[in-house]
Structure 1
Amino acid sequence: MLVSTLVLAAIGFVLLVAAVTTGSVLWAWGCIVVCVIGALLLLVSALSTREVDDDSPPGPGRHARH
């Protein structure tokens, strides 16, 4: 999921450059939409990783929560 977020960030950057270069609001809105989708993917990825880490048993270097 992180790779797709990186790809979306690159697409958003290209759309931002196109919006600034052409002065078109349509490209700017496209950039906003792509960046919001990328941010949501990053949030989902972070939350799913956090849930997996919370469910794993304590091992070396990890302490049990009391």
Structure 2
Amino acid sequence: MLILTLVMAAVGFALLVVALMTGSVVWAWGCIVVCVVGAVLLLVSSLRGNTAPDASEPGATPSDGRADTGRESSDRRFDAGD
């Protein structure tokens, strides 16, 4: 959906350029409509992204499915000398 939002922004910019070059209000309104639709798509995409499970919950795994073992291995390295 992000790609569609970027396409809408590009189309809106093109319509803005056409509206400025021709001096036509119709093209300007088209630019506004396309940009509003793009903003709504971006908002929907953002709200959908926030519905993912929270990683701070107990037993939750990171989104890529791998456990974060970087801290454990560094702790072991320092504890190994004791």
Instruction: Name the counterpart of 2:45.
Output: 45
Q: Which runs of 5+ in 2 are unaligned?
A: 62-66, 69-82
CA RMSD of aligned residues (A): 2.1
The one-letter amino acid paired with 1:52 is: A
Structure 1: gaps (5+ residues) = 62-66
**Bigger helix share:** 1
Alignment partners' CA distance in 2, 1:22 and 1:31: 13
Counterpart CA distance in 1 for 2:4 and 2:45 is 11
Describe how 1:15-54 pairs up with structure 2 within 5 A: 15-54=15-54
Query: Structure 2 counterpart of 1:43, which letter?
Result: L
Tell me the number of residue pairs that the alignment of Structure 1 and Structure 2 aligns: 61
The higher radius of gyration belongs to 2
SS at match of 1:52: coil
TM norm structure 2: 0.66
Which runs of 4 or more aligned residues in structure 1 lie more than 6 Å from their structure 2 counterparts after TM superposition?
A: none
Deviations 1:10-55 (A, max 9, x none): 0000000000000000000000000000000000000000012448
Q: What SS does the aligned partner of 1:51 have? A: coil
Q: Which has the higher contact order (CA 8 A, sep 6+)?
A: 1
CA distance in 1, matches of 2:18, 2:56: 45
